A and B are shown apart, each in its own frame.
Chain A
Amino acid sequence: MHVAIPAIQCGNFASVVNIIAKAGGTARLIEDPKELEAFDRVILAGVGAFDFGMSCLEDGGWIEPLDRLARGGRVPILGICLGMQLLCRRSDEGVRPGLGWIPADVLRIDVEPGSGLKVPHMGWNTVKVMRPNPIMPTDGEEQRYYFVHSFHAVCDEPSDVIATALHGQPLTAALGRANVMGVQFHPEKSHRFGLALMRRFLEWTC
């Protein structure tokens, strides 16, 4: 399986490339959106601010070709961390519209004062998988993943929520519909749990 990773300015891609190799696939950073056609799946990875992420996609000419793939329904697309948030309509963190493939808004994480909970939600957390989906098992061993984020996606449709993690309140840990999935955590930094997720992503056919 051949994974395209758009080489936008706000990414830390080496770890994603490493885990795809370990999961048995190949991944390549691509600079030119025209190259997307040669791949059978796409990962949107990124760290940093929402507006910067969207401006990276726009400046590189990625939005229209990615939009076509998302709406075509055939090519699996996975957003990781900021990449997941970019799948949504908008974010409290910025003013630019997101890709809007998932009807969801990205809001600042609120914690009760005096609760001792901190923002960013950073570290290892267990998740609750809400429904059958192509990338995370619904039964078996407890799954834990590494998170770092200050904003969280809130979906209009509960059926778009794939998994949640508890941080004062349940936060969306994974979301998706049709051929588009997103994970708020970092599978590439989540040991065998992330590796298993990547294997499932590579095997997923739409």
Chain B
Amino acid sequence: MLKHRVIPCLLLKEGGLVKTARFSDPVYVGDPINAIRIFNDKEVDELMVLDIEASRRGTEPDYGLIEQFAGECFMPLCYGGGIRTVEQAQRLFALGVEKVCIQSAGLADMSLIRRIADRFGSQSVLFSLDVKKGLLGGRAVHRRSGGRAESRSWRSVIDEAVRHGAGEIVLNAVDRDGTMKGMDTELIRQGSQGLPVPLVAVGGVGSLADIRKAVDAGASAVGVGAWFVFYGPHRAVLITYPRYDELVALLET
């Protein structure tokens, strides 16, 4: 049977690996190539690398760096950040990236997803959405790269991305990012309900039990940031990943 995937999510800023808390205060955690090598040795299910500055600054993906990542990854690699055209996606695929993750450019124009999916298949294009809880408890789209507020509901944006051919949806709970205090299972439940493609839930994992809860709420895959790069109360940098037998025991039945 197909396994639920557990995916380290690494954030890039100016070529270094960082980790944010609630999308702010990026802390430098090390050299990305070194981290990717360690994750490869630990046989992670998949790896997601997101450049958190590229779209905000309007820069291109760092192709040289990404090619090095792909050379170290003997598992699927997903890259996101600064992708605005089909040609950029094509260049990333040629370097050995399996999946591209679209956010800012998709919010502006969903047809980018359609054009990538038509050419390379839906399995190769993910749409990622950041969702934040408001003061009154309602959830709304959060725009990482700034710009005007989003008028559509977060769920309708996801559905639109799927209609345009997104093969997976990455759903980030902004309020949980970097907290390691558990995932927003209600968000996962609402996001996965009736969703015809896999949902990758991200934000808040701090234990194996959190991963199980996300899967029970409907996630096909769980993305993990802080918990795989920090250790102990003082947040020392230590790259970890559960053993395969631990994940099997956690996620079976």
What residues make up the interface of A, taking CB atoms closer than 8 Å to B? 12, 14-15, 18-19, 22, 47-49, 117-118, 120-126, 144, 146-148, 166-167, 186, 188-192, 194-195
Contact = CB atoms under 8 A, between A and B. Distances in A.
A123 B2 contact: yes
A19 B5 contact: no
A124 B45 contact: yes
Nearest to A126: B1
Interface stretch (B79-87, B89-97, B132-140): B89-97
A19 B74 contact: yes
Question: Which of B3, B73, B98, B167 has its CB near the most chain A CB atoms (within 10 A)?
Answer: B98
A125 B96 contact: no
B1 A167 contact: yes
Contacts of B122: 120
B76 A189 contact: yes
B75 A190 contact: yes
A125 B2 contact: yes
B123 A120 contact: yes
A23 to B, nearest CB: 10
A195 B74 contact: yes
7 interchain residue pairs of minimum CB distance: A14-B96, A15-B96, A124-B3, A191-B43, A148-B123, A123-B2, A189-B76
B123 A122 contact: yes
A148 B99 CA distance: 11
Given A123-B221, A189-B75, A47 B121 contact: yes
17 contacts: A15-B74, A15-B96, A15-B98, A18-B96, A117-B2, A118-B197, A122-B198, A123-B221, A124-B5, A125-B3, A167-B1, A167-B2, A186-B76, A189-B73, A189-B98, A190-B74, A191-B74
A125 B43 contact: no
Contacts of B221: 123
Interface in B100-123: 120-123
Interface in B143-196: 167, 196
A115 to B, nearest CB: 11
Interface of B: 1-5, 40, 43, 45-46, 67, 70-71, 73-76, 93-96, 98, 120-124, 167, 196-198, 220-221
B215 to A, nearest CB: 12
Contacts of A125: 1-3
B117 to A, nearest CB: 11
Nearest to B221: A123
Given A18-B96, A124-B45, A146-B76, A166 B123 contact: no
Given A15-B96, A191-B43, A123 B3 contact: yes
A111 to B, nearest CB: 11
Contacts of A191: 40, 43, 74-75
Given A123-B2, A166-B1, A189 B74 contact: yes
B96 A118 contact: no
Given A118-B198, A121-B2, A47 B120 contact: yes
Contacts of A188: 74
A146 to B, nearest CB: 6
B75 A123 contact: no
A54 B10 CA distance: 37
A47 B93 CA distance: 11
Given A18-B71, A146-B75, A148-B123, A120 B5 contact: no
A14 B76 CA distance: 12
Residue of B40, B43, B71, B121 with most chain A CB atoms under a 10 A cut-off: B121
Contacts of A192: 43, 74
B213 to A, nearest CB: 17
Contact of A12 (B5, B71, B96, B197): B96
B108 to A, nearest CB: 27
Nearest to B122: A120
A53 to B, nearest CB: 12
Contacts of B196: 118
Contacts of B4: 123
Nearest to B1: A166
Given A118-B197, A189-B75, A189-B98, A123 B5 contact: yes
